[in-house]
């Protein structure tokens, strides 16, 4: 089941993987432009476009867009990240052509009606309020800002109410003209659809598309991160994140740091933070670590929620766990277990064909090629205890660590 890449004369690329054992197909457009590419005055524009792309084309109104695939049991969706915009669909294989036509229509022929722009601004205001009123969500947004101050990676993906109020139809079109360009748009397909059908559908719907030229320019974060920020909130529970900058995608110690993060506070209940702070001391119901790598930078953090009086104790316990990782190399057995655990988790995720479809498109955009899953796993299996210790020392010990705290004033 090899992945095949088809390059069209109009600058679009198609990446396709045939899966015979399923009855479904997942396909979508992945655009190499996200919230970090919003320039001054555009904060939240990438996300706003993701919403507006469903609001009407030259031949469809909103109802027809939402009904066309959903009426046959398919799923039409989209999301925006810091570096990508994704518009995708999942459906029974026989409706692959229907999904491709619909996705192509909304991606390249949306009309952005003025009344829909006005209405969608209010919808996103509600979305912003929903996240800002949940401290366990809002603190991550604020953490981005202190790790990447004065940089678009630190801006909220949704933007702010003040920035969104200024959006216009002309601004939306200009943003699309700047980012939906040759070489930066990939149509990805994974599922039970023949190569013959793929070529026929591509010829019919994708080859007629005309993409502008251009180049996406990004600037690497340079400003120092903020060391400590306290935010007063009116809740009984305190929330805190400690963390800092980390490795960019596919840097030398990128994979060792993936293993390290998973060992420290990944989703498994046997992570070090969970076993120590939750299970041993009962100080927090929710504690975990995360690692967000970008093309030219990255960040890591540890989040926990607890009674305000336990904040300092948890912080000290977290520091001890970090210190163990940079001072003491893992033994052979623990290293093997840590790698096996991550490989198992990734394998479960890889079985999700939607994940495969989105992942192969992102790899093609970011690196120009798609490693096989076995190649990725071999990379993890080759990691040494020395590499883990080096990563822990560099990120947890030698690099600045910041803290953001939500608690009652």
Q: Can you list the positions of beta strands (E) in 166-285?
A: 185-191, 228-232, 237-245
Instruction: List domains and CATH numbers for the chain.
Output: 3-206 (3.30.830.10), 228-407 (3.30.830.10)
CB 244 within 8 A of CB 400: yes
CB atoms within 10 A of CB 162: 9
Which residues are CB-contacts of 219 (< 8 A; sequence separation ≥ 6)?
151
Ordered per-residue pLDDT tens for the chain, 409 residues: 689 999 999 999 999 999 999 999 999 999 999 999 999 999 999 999 999 999 999 999 999 999 999 999 999 999 999 999 999 999 999 999 999 999 999 999 999 999 999 999 999 999 999 999 999 999 999 999 999 999 999 999 999 999 999 999 999 999 999 999 999 999 999 999 999 999 999 999 999 999 999 999 999 999 889 899 999 998 889 999 999 999 999 899 999 999 999 999 999 999 999 999 999 999 999 999 999 999 999 999 999 999 999 999 999 999 999 999 999 999 999 999 999 999 999 999 999 999 999 999 999 999 999 999 999 999 999 999 999 999 999 999 999 999 999 998 7
Q: Determine the pLDDT at residue 11.
A: 96
Task: Using alpha carbons only, give the angle 104, 108, 109 rounded to the nearest 5 degrees.
Answer: 100
Q: Determine the pLDDT at residue 1.
A: 65
Q: Determine the pLDDT at residue 293.
A: 97
DSSP string, 59-93: S--HHHHHHHHHTTT-EEEEEE-SS-EEEEEEEEG
Question: pTM of the entire structure?
Answer: 0.95
Q: Determine the pLDDT at residue 2.
A: 82
Q: Determine the pLDDT at residue 235.
A: 87
């Amino acid at each position: 089941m090899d992945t095949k890449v088809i390059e069209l004369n109009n600058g679009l690329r198609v990446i396709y993987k045939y899966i015979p054992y399923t009855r479904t197909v997942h396909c979508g457009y992945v655009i190499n432009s996200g919230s970090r590419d919003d320039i001054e005055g555009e904060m939240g524009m990438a996300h706003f476009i993701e919403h507006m792309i469903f609001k009407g084309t030259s031949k469809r109104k909103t109802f027809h867009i939402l009904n066309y695939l959903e009426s046959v049991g398919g799923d039409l969706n989209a999301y925006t990240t810091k570096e990508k915009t994704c518009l995708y669909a999942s459906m029974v294989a026989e409706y692959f052509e229907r999904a491709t036509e619909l996705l192509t229509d909304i991606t390249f022929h949306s009309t952005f009606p003025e009344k829909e722009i006005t209405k969608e601004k209010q919808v996103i205001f509600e979305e912003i309020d929903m996240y800002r009123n949940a401290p366990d969500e809002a603190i991550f947004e604020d953490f981005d800002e202190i790790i990447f101050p004065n940089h678009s990676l630190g801006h909220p993906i949704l933007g702010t109410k003040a920035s969104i109020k200024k959006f216009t139809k002309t601004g939306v079109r200009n943003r699309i003209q700047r980012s939906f360009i040759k070489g930066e748009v990939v149509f990805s397909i994974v599922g039970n659809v023949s190569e013959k059908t793929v070529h026929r559908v591509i010829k019919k719907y994708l080859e007629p598309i005309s993409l502008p030229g251009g180049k996406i320019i990004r600037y690497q974060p340079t400003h120092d991160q903020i060391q400590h920020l306290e935010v007063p909130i009116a809740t009984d529970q305190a929330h805190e994140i400690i963390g800092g900058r980390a490795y960019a995608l596919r840097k030398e110690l990128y994979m060792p740091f993936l293993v390290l993060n998973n060992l420290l506070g990944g989703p498994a209940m046997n992570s070090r933070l969970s076993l120590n702070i939750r299970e041993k001391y009962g100080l927090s119901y929710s504690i975990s670590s995360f690692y967000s790598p970008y093309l030219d930078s990255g960040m890591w953090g540890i989040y926990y929620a607890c009674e305000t009086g336990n904040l300092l104790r948890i912080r000290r316990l977290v520091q001890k766990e970090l210190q163990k990782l940079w001072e003491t190399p893992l033994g052979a057995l623990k290293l093997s277990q840590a790698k096996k655990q991550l490989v198992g988790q990734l394998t479960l995720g890889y079985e999700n064909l939607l994940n495969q479809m989105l992942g192969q498109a992102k790899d093609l955009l970011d690196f120009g090629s798609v490693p096989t899953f076995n190649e990725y796993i071999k990379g993890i299996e080759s990691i040494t205890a020395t590499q883990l210790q080096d990563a822990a020392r560099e990120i947890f010990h030698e690099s600045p660590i910041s803290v953001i705290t939500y608690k009652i004033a």
